[in-house]
C-alpha cells in the first residue's frame, strides 16, 4: 500500500494531515514554554542535549528566545563514538557562550549490578545525573526533547505491550517525577511538534545534528514502531499519527480525572498499611465500580512495588476476583513477590515473606501457662482468659445456650486442675461440644472455623492435662459440659482488657 504513494506524495499528505507548518510551530512554541511548561526567564533551565535534532532544536530555540539555559549532556559510554557526541554538544554550547555540563556513566556496570535492561539502565543513569546537575545549578526545570512522534510511538509501544489508561495517556508537557525529585519538573516543550518540523527548523537554522546510528536499528522495538508500524498505519489513514497523538492527549486528561477519583476511593478503602503490606476494606471496595476496583488494586501494587512495570491485566483481574469472592480465607500469589490474603472484611496485599500484623486476635505468649481456678492468663493484644469457680447454687441452667463463644462452663469434677493454656502442637485433636462421632484434627477445626492462618500457631488452647477443653472464642469440648449431676463448675472467660494495647 505504501508503495503506491511516492515519497514526495507521502510528505505532502503528512503535511496536510498533520497540519504542520514551521512558522506556526515557532509561534506556538514560546507559548507552550510559558503556559504549558510554566518556564520563566528568571531562573536557570537545564536542557538535556543528546546532540540529536530534537534536543538541538529546543536548545537553539530557547537560546534565541533568551532563556537562561544550561546545556547538559550525558555520555552513556555505550557506543564507540559517544565521546565525539559529547564533544559536539560541548562545542555547540561553547560557540554560543552557554554553560555546559557533562555527565558520564558506566551504564554497563549498572546493568550488571541491577536487573535493568540496557534501555532502563541508560535512562536511569541519565536521569540520576540530570537531576543532580539541575539541583546543583538551582534549575527551575529540566527540558527534554520528546516530540509528537515520541508521543505516538510511546502510545503504540504501550498498546502492543499491554497497558491500561495510565500507559496510553500521553506524556504531559510538565511533570513532577517524584521518584527523581520532588521539586524540579521535567518539561517537554516539543511534545506537539513533529519530527518533520524539527528537521525543517534545523535546516533553516543550519544546525547539523549528530546521527545516532542505533536509531535505524530495527532490532530495537521502538525503532520498529517508528520505522515500520507508524508508516504502515498511515496507509490506513494518512491522519493516523495525528489521531493517535490526540488520543494520547485525551486519555492523559481522562487519566488525570481518574487519578483524583482513585485518591478519594483509596482513602475510604485503606484499612492499614505497613512494612510491605496494605489492608483493603473488602466490603467497601467490593461495592466500587469494577473500573475503580482495578484502580485500587493497581494503586496497592504501586505502593508496595513502586515503578513496577508490566502490572498485567490478568494479575489485576485476578485480584479483583479474589476481592469479589465470597471465600473469607484465601491466600494466592499476585505479582512480583506479592500475595493476596483474604480475611473477613479485609483483603491484604503483602510481600511473600511479610509478617502481617496479628491485629486483634488473642495469642498465647508462653509455651505453657497455668490457669488456676480463680486466676487468669494474660494473652497478647490485651486479651485475658480467666477461670472462676461457680458453686452449685450459682450454676447456670442447663438449657443455657453454651455457644457463647467467649464464656463457657465446664464440670469441675471432669477436669484436672490447674488448667493449662498453651499453643497447638502436632497431633492435637478436638471434639467440639455438640459434635457427634469421633474427634477431629485441631487443624481441621481451625480451618473450618476460619481462624486466620497466621493466628493459628499461637491461638490459645485451654487444656485439662493434655486434652483440649476449650478453644477460646469458639466452642468448648464435648464431655466436659455441665450435666444434671454437676456439683461445681468452672467458668472460663475470654475478654479484652485493654483494647488499645494493639
Q: What is the binding site for a copy of itself (CB under 8 A)?
A: 159-165, 168, 221, 224-225, 229, 232-233, 236-237, 239-240, 242-244, 246-247, 249-258, 260-261, 289-292, 294-295, 313
Report the distance separating Cα 339 and Cα 97, nearest Å.
Answer: 56
The DSSP 8-state label assigned to residue 415 in this structure reads S
Q: 311 or 461, CB closer to a copy of itself? A: 311
Which residue, 339, 379, 354, is CA-closest to 461? 379
Q: What angle do CA 477, 480, 483 make, to 5 degrees?
A: 130
459, 424 in Cβ contact below 8 A? yes
The minimum distance between CB 258 and a copy of itself, in angstroms, equals 6
Q: 192 or 432, CB closer to a copy of itself? A: 192
Q: 133 or 252, CB closer to a copy of itself? A: 252
Report the distance separating Cα 34 and Cα 43, nearest Å.
Answer: 13
The minimum distance between CB 309 and a copy of itself, in angstroms, equals 14
b/e burial code for range 375-393 (CB count within 10 A of at least 16 → b):
ebbbbebbbebbbbebeee
Report the distance separating Cα 388 and Cα 305, nearest Å.
Answer: 51
Q: 1 or 183, CB closer to a copy of itself? A: 1
Report the distance separating Cα 187 and Cα 166, nearest Å.
Answer: 18
Residue 117: CB atoms within 10 Å: 10
The minimum distance between CB 168 and a copy of itself, in angstroms, equals 7
Q: 292 or 390, CB closer to a copy of itself? A: 292
The DSSP 8-state label assigned to residue 34 in this structure reads I
Q: 260 or 437, CB closer to a copy of itself? A: 260
**Helical ranges in 137-210 per DSSP H:** 148-161, 165-168, 195-204
The minimum distance between CB 31 and a copy of itself, in angstroms, equals 12
The minimum distance between CB 174 and a copy of itself, in angstroms, equals 13
Q: 312 or 479, CB closer to a copy of itself? A: 312
**22-31 vs 195-204: helix axis angle to the nearest 10?**
100
Which residue, 304, 387, 315, is CA-closest to 350? 304
The minimum distance between CB 359 and a copy of itself, in angstroms, equals 31
The minimum distance between CB 158 and a copy of itself, in angstroms, equals 9
Report the distance separating Cα 329 and Cα 342, nearest Å.
Answer: 5
The minimum distance between CB 141 and a copy of itself, in angstroms, equals 20
Report the distance separating Cα 128 and Cα 133, nearest Å.
Answer: 9
Q: 159 or 332, CB closer to a copy of itself? A: 159
DSSP β-bridge partners for residue 494: 385
The minimum distance between CB 269 and a copy of itself, in angstroms, equals 15
Query: Helix, strand or coil for residue 422?
Result: strand
Q: 254 or 333, CB closer to a copy of itself? A: 254
Amino acid at each position: 500500500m505504501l508503495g503506491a504513494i511516492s515519497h514526495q506524495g507521502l510528505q505532502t499528505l503528512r503535511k496536510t494531515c498533520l497540519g504542520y507548518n514551521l512558522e506556526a510551530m515557532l509561534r506556538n512554541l514560546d507559548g507552550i514554554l510559558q503556559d504549558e511548561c510554566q518556564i520563566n526567564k528568571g531562573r536557570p533551565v537545564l536542557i538535556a542535549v543528546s546532540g540529536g535534532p530534537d534536543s538541538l532544536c529546543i536548545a537553539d530555540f530557547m537560546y534565541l528566545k533568551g532563556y537562561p539555559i544550561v546545556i547538559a549532556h550525558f555520555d552513556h559510554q555505550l557506543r564507540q563514538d559517544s565521546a565525539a557526541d559529547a564533544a559536539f554538544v560541548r562545542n555547540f554550547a561553547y560557540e554560543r557562550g552557554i554553560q555546559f555540563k557533562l555527565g558520564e556513566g558506566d551504564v554497563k556496570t549498572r546493568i550488571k549490578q541491577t536487573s535493568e535492561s540496557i534501555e532502563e539502565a541508560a535512562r536511569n543513569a541519565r536521569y540520576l545525573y540530570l537531576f543532580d546537575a539541575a539541583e546543583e545549578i538551582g534549575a527551575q526545570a529540566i527540558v527534554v526533547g520528546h516530540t509528537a512522534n515520541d508521543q505516538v510511538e510511546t502510545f503504540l509501544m504501550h498498546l502492543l505491550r499491554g497497558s491500561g489508561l495510565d500507559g496510553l495517556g500521553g506524556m504531559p508537557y510538565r511533570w513532577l517525577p517524584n521518584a527523581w525529585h520532588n521539586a524540579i519538573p521535567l518539561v517537554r516543550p516539543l511534545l506537539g511538534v513533529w519530527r518533520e518540523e524539527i528537521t525543517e527548523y534545523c535546516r533553516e537554522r543550519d544546525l547539523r545534528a549528530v546521527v545516532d546510528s542505533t536509531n535505524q536499528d530495527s532490532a530495537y522495538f521502538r525503532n520498529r514502531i517508528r520505522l515500520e508500524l507508524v508508516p504502515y498505519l498511515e496507509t490506513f489513514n494518512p491522519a493516523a499519527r495525528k489521531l493517535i497523538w490526540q488520543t494520547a492527549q485525551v486519555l492523559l486528561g481522562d487519566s488525570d480525572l481518574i487519578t483524583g477519583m482513585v485518591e478519594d476511593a483509596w482513602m475510604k478503602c485503606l484499612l492499614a498499611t505497613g512494612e510491605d503490606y496494605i489492608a483493603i476494606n473488602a466490603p467497601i471496595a467490593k461495592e466500587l465500580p469494577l473500573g475503580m476496583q482495578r484502580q485500587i488494586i493497581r494503586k496497592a501494587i504501586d505502593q508496595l512495588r513502586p515503578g513496577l512495570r508490566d502490572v498485567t491485566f490478568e494479575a489485576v483481574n485476578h485480584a479483583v476476583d479474589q476481592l469479589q469472592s465470597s471465600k473469607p480465607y484465601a491466600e494466592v500469589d499476585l505479582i512480583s513477590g506479592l500475595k493476596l490474603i483474604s480475611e473477613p472484611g479485609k483483603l491484604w496485599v503483602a510481600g511473600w515473606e511479610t509478617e502481617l500484623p496479628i491485629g486483634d486476635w488473642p495469642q498465647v505468649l508462653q509455651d505453657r501457662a497455668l490457669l488456676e481456678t480463680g486466676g487468669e492468663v494474660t494473652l497478647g493484644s490485651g486479651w485475658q482468659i480467666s477461670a472462676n469457680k461457680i458453686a452449685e447454687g450459682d450454676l447456670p441452667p442447663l438449657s443455657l445456650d453454651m455457644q457463647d463463644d467467649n464464656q463457657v462452663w465446664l464440670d469441675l469434677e471432669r477436669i484436672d486442675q490447674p488448667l493449662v493454656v498453651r499453643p497447638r502442637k502436632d497431633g492435637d485433636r478436638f471434639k467440639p461440644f455438640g459434635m457427634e462421632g469421633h474427634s477431629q484434627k485441631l487443624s481441621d477445626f481451625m480451618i473450618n472455623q476460619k481462624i486466620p492462618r497466621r493466628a493459628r500457631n499461637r491461638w490459645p488452647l485451654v487444656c485439662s492435662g493434655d486434652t483440649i477443653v476449650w478453644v477460646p472464642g469458639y466452642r468448648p469440648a464435648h464431655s466436659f459440659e455441665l450435666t444434671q449431676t454437676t456439683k461445681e463448675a468452672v467458668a472460663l472467660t475470654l475478654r479484652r482488657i485493654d483494647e488499645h494495647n494493639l
